[in-house]
Amino acid sequence: TWLDGHFHNKNPWWTIGLMLFGVLGALYQVIRGLTKGS
């Protein structure tokens, strides 16, 4: 991502972090939706 290039990291920590954040957020939304429906 642009952040990785900007900070010149050896590993793409920003990409990994943002991806994890997105996945966890999506899981949270799904679980919240399922528990609300029952």
Q: What Cα–Cα distance (Å) separates residue 27 from each residue in 6, 16, 17, 32?
A: 30, 16, 15, 8
Instruction: Indicate the pTM of the whole model.
Output: 0.60
pLDDT for 23 equals 98
pLDDT for 8 equals 78
pLDDT for 6 equals 79
Angle at 9 between CA 7 and CA 14, to 5 degrees: 80
Four-point Cα dihedral 2, 7, 12, 13, nearest 10: -110
What are the domain boundaries of the chain? Answer: 2-37
Q: What is the pLDDT of residues 1-38, one digit of tens each?
A: 777 677 777 878 888 999 999 999 999 999 999 998 76
pLDDT for 36 equals 83
